[in-house]
Chain A
Amino acid sequence: MVGIITYGVYIPRFRIKVEEIARVWGANPDDISGGLGVYSKSVPDLDEDTATIAVEAARNALRRRAIDPQEIGAVYVGSESHPYAVKPTACTVGEAIGATPTMTAADYEFACKAGTAGIQTCMGLVASKMVKYGLAIGSDVAQGAPSDALEYTAAAGGAAFLIGNEDPIAEIHRTCSFTTDTPDFWRREGQDYPRHGGRFTGDPGYFRHIDGAVRLLFAQTGKGPKDYTYAVFHQPNAKFPQRIAKMLGFSPEQIRPGLVVPRLGNTYSGSSMIGLAATLDCAKPGDRIFVASFGSGAGSDAFDIEVTDAIESDEFRRGAAPSVEKLLENPVFVTYAQYARHKGKIVMQK
């Protein structure tokens, strides 16, 4: 059965508090924190970008399991912030972990769900025996225009999932997607920041597509919310995943381990994948995990996952790489000025 062989996460240590951003723009921090349910977001260091975060996440995945990188036949990196418009991040990652040159690679973009699209691609390649292992990564140094609502949540981080069919720590029983042409959030070539349709990103975007994918998967599997130990949803803020969970019949307890957004912010392509990683950090054999990502534009990928005995076997060393909780601990809080410098918002020379 195709499944997750190992996984790893990377989150920069820097954070900025929502109230610090609100201070700069003269907004009421309580209104914003209360409205979004987000209190701080991660900030990349000066020299961190989507590629370095993807590499760190991939290395953390490989720390947990002795895999010959030469057996990784595919690398896909999903992001909205690939450092190059033309030149794949996936090649940099493949090179850094020693998977080159006998591999296929490509960069994916599907707003916040390109990483889970990579998981689906790897599942197909593994199931068809075209590759032994496929590496799917969601990584972003998320963009949000200064003073835009997105700026309060757009964060940095990534997660890497190695997909294979030999002794996975979690089997992926089934996946399906729900996709339409819905322009709720977009960034054109050459633009620095994405734009969005305000409230249109909610009901016609996030909620319609996740609801569509989840109901499709339930119809295909005959399962329902009560069949799962945990559930993870894309988390652009804390309110949306809590609302969709309630709408679909999942309990607050089911989504709690994977709800990382209040401290982390929205890591775009990393968001639901870091949520899944945080859930795997505390999962036990036999636990069933439901995952639904969301990407604007728009679509949702749903996954029916079951944790196996391998997660507690000697071959898999969960503690060999930092847990999501560990990565969220002991943050270094920065001022808006430092944040602006880290994010390259200060123009040094034209």
Chain B
Amino acid sequence: MRDVAVIGVGCTTFGEKWDTSFRDLFVEAGALALEDAGVSGEQIGAMYVGNMSAGRFIEQEHIGALIADYAGLASTHIPSTRVEAACASGGLSFRQAFISVASGLEDIVVAAGVEKMTDVASGASVDALAGAADREWEGFVGATFPGLYAMIAHEYMSRYPLTREQLAQVAVKNHYNGARNPIAQFQQEISLETVLKSTLVADPLRLFDCSPITDGAAAVVLAPLEVARKFTDTPVRVLASAQASDTIALHDRRDISTLDATVAAGKRAFAMAGITPKEIDLVEVHDCFTIAEICAIEDLGFCRKGEAGRLTEEGVTALDGDLPVNTSGGLKACGHPVGATGIKQVCEVVMQLRGQAGKRQVDGARIGMTHNVGGTGATVAVHILGV
């Protein structure tokens, strides 16, 4: 297996992009990534694109070919593949691209993610997203994602010491980071009180505990490490790529306050990279809800179960803490265009490791991790990148 590096990243701004179409989004992100890598279209050997539900959101399927076509590559007939694993589609797209390069089959490969969610009313997007859970046993009986994560939060809070204020601090921290990220959907800092007084969505989760509905796209370019320096002075190595699955329905899990797929993917990633959690300088975790960030920090092995709330309150996960979590603003503040999120996480870590993260730069960051979850944890992708 060959060593693989990320040689270019690109990301659209995230938000309610009413005047930007699905096609505009991925063309913009792809062009930014190719420009960053100094790669021309003809040099691309293959493309992967993470997308959860273009069929529901814009009534368009066959995304792989569409992207190659609108990237101007139809005449090169490159293999272009859509990858779908709900909100983990982006993470799996990156992993497929990594495998493609590592195997020696392709040299220059693009991994992208895109979601255009605001062409439908919010009720329709909530229902499309519910397809990431078990439609027969969860969706049909009324469970939505806020409801399912609220159950996780209830179970967690009944077993571990987590206060409502500590949970809210996750959103406060992520908005602080988002306010320092030019692509973030939400550019304003918020107070603890704002979270605690926001509309109740699914007890105990309030509006500001939830990630928003977002349009956006992200793309990265991968190459064999041995040739990466021909394209860039700052290649970022992919130290590990891991993926795990679990039961699709939350109620079939061994313990709903722990995402076992996160535990499994995290262990595999650390083993593959040959490092321990202590060596990670920053991590982008899948905070679709504030409780998800709490669980992720613990399930990835950064602390023991029940400690993440206190660590968040103490500022350990803040931008200037020992383990900065979600420097991009996370799904909460940067936004969550579901298929693009996993790729955006890679973009963020690459920019941090290159020292290009501006006001949210983590000083001296050398190793970063991404954690991308599909559904309530039925698919998890974890990657470790380093310089």
Which single residue of chain A is at the shortest CB-CB distance from B213?
A: A199
The reply to whether B122 and A199 contact each other, CB–CB distance below 8 Å, is yes
Instruction: For the complex, give the distance between the alpha carbons of A203 and B16 in Å.
Output: 9
Q: Let me know if A331 is at the binding interface, CB within 8 A.
A: no
Q: Which of A196-222 contact B (CB under 8 A)?
A: 196-200, 203-204
A-B contact pairs, 16 of them (CB 8 A): A28-B199, A28-B200, A31-B199, A196-B121, A197-B121, A198-B121, A198-B122, A199-B16, A199-B118, A199-B122, A200-B18, A200-B118, A203-B16, A203-B18, A204-B18, A204-B19
Q: Is the interface of B mostly helix, strand, loop or mixed?
A: loop
Interface size of B as a range? under 10
Nearest 9 CB-CB pairings of A with B: A204-B18, A31-B199, A198-B121, A198-B122, A197-B121, A199-B16, A200-B18, A203-B18, A28-B199
Residues of B within 8 A of A199 (CB): 16, 118, 122
Q: Name the CB-closest residue of B to A195.
A: B121
Residues of A with C-beta under 8 A to B118: 199-200
When distances are taken between beta carbons in the complex, the residues of chain A under 8 Å from B121 are: 196-198
For B121, the closest partner residue in chain A by CB is: A198
8 Å CB contacts to B: which residues of A333-350?
none
A198 to B213, CA, bound (A): 12
Q: Which residues from 7 to 56 on chain B have a C-beta closer than 8 Å to any C-beta of chain A? A: 16, 18-19
- Chain A: which residue is nearest B123 at the CB level? A198
CB interface residues, B 74-129, toward A, < 8 Å: 118, 121-122
Q: Which residue of B lies closest to A208 (CB)?
A: B18
Q: A residues engaging B (CB < 8 A)? A: 28, 31, 196-200, 203-204
Residue of A nearest to B200 (CB): A28
Whole-angstrom distance from the CB of A35 to the nearest CB of chain B? 8
Q: Which residues on B sit within 8 Å (CB–CB) of A28?
A: 199-200
Q: Nearest Cβ in chain B — how far from A242, in angstroms?
A: 18
The CA-CA distance from A28 to B199 in the complex, in Å, is 8
Assembled-state Cα–Cα distance A200/B199 (Å): 20
Alpha-carbon distance between A327 and B370 when the two chains are bound, in angstroms: 61
Q: Give Cα A203 to B122, complex, Å.
A: 16
User: In the complex, what residues of A have CB within 8 A of residue B200's CB?
Assistant: 28
In the bound complex, how far is the Cα of B201 from the Cα of A28, in angstroms? 11
> CA A261 – CA B77 in complex, angstroms?
59
Beyond known contacts A31-B199, A197-B121: 14 more, CB 8 A cutoff: A28-B199, A28-B200, A196-B121, A198-B121, A198-B122, A199-B16, A199-B118, A199-B122, A200-B18, A200-B118, A203-B16, A203-B18, A204-B18, A204-B19
Closest A residue, CB atoms, query B19: A204
Q: Which of B181-237 contact A (CB under 8 A)?
A: 199-200
* Cα A196 to Cα B200 with chains together (Å): 23
- Nearest A residue to B118, CB-CB: A200
Residues of B within 8 A of A31 (CB): 199
Closest to A196 in B: B121
Q: For residue A204, which residues in chain B have a CB less than 8 angstroms away from its CB?
A: 18-19
Assembled-state Cα–Cα distance A196/B120 (Å): 11
- A142 CB to nearest B CB, Å: 20
Bound-state Cα–Cα, A199 to B15, Å: 12
Chain A residues with CB under 8 Å of B199's CB are 28, 31
A84 to B115 Cα, complex, angstroms: 43
Residues from chain B with Cβ under 8 Å of A197 in the complex:
121
A182 to chain B, nearest CB (A): 9
Task: Tell me the complex Cα distance, A204–B121, Å.
Answer: 14
**Whole-angstrom CA separation of A48 from B382 in the bound complex:** 64
Q: Which of A196, A198, A204 has the most CB of B within 10 A?
A: A198
Q: In angstroms, how far is the closest chain B Cβ from the Cβ of A153?
A: 18
B194 → A minimal CB distance (Å): 13
- Give every chain B residue within 8 A of A200 (Cβ-Cβ): 18, 118
The residue in chain A whose Cβ has the minimal distance to the Cβ of B207 is: A31
For the complex, what is the distance from the CA of A199 to the CA of B16, rounded to whole Å? 9
* Cα distance, A338 to B217, chains bound together (Å): 50
How far is A74 from B19 in the complex, measured between Cα atoms in Å?
A: 40
Which residues of the partner chain A approach B19 to less than 8 Å between Cβ atoms?
204
CA distance in complex: A200, B118 (Å): 8
CA distance A188 to B317 in the complex (A): 52
| Residue among B18, B121, B200 with max Cβ neighbours from chain A (10 Å) | B18
Q: What residues of A have a CB within 8 angstroms of the CB of B122 in the complex?
A: 198-199
Closest CB of chain A to B120's CB: distance in Å? 9
Bound-complex Cα distance A31 to B197 (A): 10
CB distance from A196 to the nearest CB of B (A): 8
Encode B357-380 as 1/0 by CB contact (under 8 A) with A.
Answer: 000000000000000000000000
- Please indicate the chain B residues that have their CB under 8 angstroms from the CB of A196 in the complex: 121
The complex places the Cα of A322 from the Cα of B302 at a distance, in Å, of 70
Report Cα–Cα, A350/B121, bound state, in Å: 32
Least Cβ–Cβ distance between A329 and chain B, in angstroms: 33
B18: chain A residues within 8 A (beta carbon): 200, 203-204
The distance in angstroms between the C-alpha atoms of A198 and B122, with both chains bound, is: 7
**What residues of B have a CB within 8 angstroms of the CB of A203 in the complex?**
16, 18
A197 to chain B, nearest CB (A): 6
| Cα–Cα distance between A200 and B121 once the two chains are bound (Å) | 8
Chain B 260-298: CB-based contact to A (< 8 A → 1; otherwise 0): 000000000000000000000000000000000000000
CA distance A62 to B122 in the complex (A): 46
Question: Complex formed: what's the CA distance from A198 to B200 in Å?
Answer: 19
Q: Closest CB-CB distance, B303 to chain A, in whole Å?
A: 35
